[in-house]
Amino acid sequence: MKKLFELVELEKKRQNEGLELIASENFTSEKVRKLAGSILTNKYAEGYPGKRYYGGCHYIDEIEQTAIDLLKELFGVNYANVQPHSGSSANMIAYASVLNLGDKILTLSLNEGGHLTHGSPVNFSSKHYDVYHYGLKDDGTIDYEALREKALEIKPKLILAGFSAYPYIIDFATIGSIAKEVGAYFMVDMAHIAGLIAGGAHPSPFPYADIVTSTTHKTLRGPRGGIILTNSEEIIKKVNFMCFPGMQGGPLENIIGAKAQSFYEALQPEFKKYIAQVVENTKTASETFIKLGAEASKTETHLFLLNTKKSYGITGKDAEALLETIKITTNKNMLPKDDERPNTTSGIRLGFAAVTTRGMTKEGAIETAKIIHDFLSKRINATEANKRVDNLVSTLRAIDSF
């Protein structure tokens, strides 16, 4: 259909001409894209390598096993399942593997940086399980002592860490010890920080966590999909059964092939350099906002939060819409103790994984922050802001050049 291909070209133009600052997005390599769009999509392969419910899976088995082996090598873990279709389905499968309906989960709320599948009232996680929340200190970091007190009080079956809008290093060792103390499973959703962990910019959860889930398309720079990892043979057996036939049918082998390629790329020395640059760019942008007088969180990862309500007198929703007029893509995001609704918010979340893939430097991160600040402060109009964005984009690589 001609219209569809025309729309793809328009989307390609949008991605090339703008600055992608959504922390959950990235740009894949040409090889990842080729595998995701390959003839592997034609093959039905219910089951696992060597144990399929369909014939003709000899090569498919090799591809999926390669993905599993590369993933285990990347994170130094004993077992992995690469079939989940998304991070949300990975979490659903993980919960069901170790919990019964109605069991207690202790996690961080969506409002303070958690994720929809970590117990949001509108999500399956709060409907299937009894969810409690731990909180943050005034400086925006996890209150580990209060977490321990809450865990001792409610005795959860599972404690969850790993978040979608938390800009600081997570102390997996401390949370793991609390989980052991109260007899809970310790689960980590490393969707946002998987690439940082693989690149050595964030501590690994695997010495402490019982089960770890992730997406593959954020800082890991792969196709859109999910994964589940563990060092427990007992848990992986439950995970495999709960994934298929429990919750999914045929796996997306084209996406699994693309996942394998992204795991291979993350094992290369260049990936560590990339991740180090992501962290430097993010920290630089955050510090620039603070120096300019805006209220922004500090950061130790690939993202930070900008309070647009206090800084510029506008909601996160309005800031997102305004920035899109100058080809800067962000997303509105709840802030800790936010008094706005989730569909309005008091701020935006900014991430630098995608623009760093395109080659953004520290200087580019500074200019990005200055453009946003000057525009939202009304120091410059949209015409001037667009010129500055165009100048900055001209220093970056095209999205299909890697």
- Residue 370, SS3? helix
Residues whose CB is less than 8 angstroms from the CB of residue 151 and which lie 6 or more positions away in sequence, other chains included: 106, 134, 159, 178, 179, 181, 182, 184
Q: How far from each other are the two terminal CA atoms of the chain, in whole angstroms?
A: 28
Is 189 one of the annotated active-site residues of the chain?
yes
Query: In degrees, to the nearest 5, what angle opens at C-alpha 186 toward C-alphas 183 and 188?
Result: 170
Given the residues 44, 103, 280, 340, the one annotated as active site: 44
Two tokens, residue 238:
């439950």
- Residue 262, SS3? helix
Is 215 one of the annotated active-site residues of the chain?
yes
Q: For residue 228, what is the enclosing H or E element?
A: strand 226-230
Report the chain's C-alpha Rg in angstroms: 21
Residues whose CB is less than 8 angstroms from the CB of residue 314 and which lie 6 or more positions away in sequence, other chains included: 308, 322, 376
Q: Is the dihedral of CA 210, 275, 281, 26 positive or negative?
A: negative
Two tokens, residue 185:
């499973």
Given the residues 218, 238, 283, 309, the one annotated as active site: 218
Given the residues 112, 189, 338, 367, the one annotated as active site: 189
Is 53 one of the annotated active-site residues of the chain?
no
In Å, how far are 90, 102, 353 from 130, measured between CA atoms? Answer: 19, 5, 34
How many angstroms separate the CA atoms of 123 and 205, rounded? 25
How many angstroms separate the CA atoms of 142 and 161, rounded? 10
Two tokens, residue 129:
């399980």
Given the residues 107, 117, 141, 215, the one annotated as active site: 215
Given the residues 52, 157, 221, 224, the one annotated as active site: 224
Is 224 one of the annotated active-site residues of the chain?
yes
Residues whose CB is less than 8 angstroms from the CB of residue 154 and which lie 6 or more positions away in sequence, other chains included: 104, 106, 132
With CA atoms as reference, report the closest residue to 202 among 175, 230, 247, 162. 162
How many angstroms separate the CA atoms of 86 and 67, rounded? 16
Given the residues 17, 25, 46, 61, the one annotated as active site: 46
Residue 279: exposure state from Cβ atoms within 10 A (0-12, 13-18, ≥19)? buried
* Catalytic sites, residue numbers: 44, 46, 189, 215, 218, 224
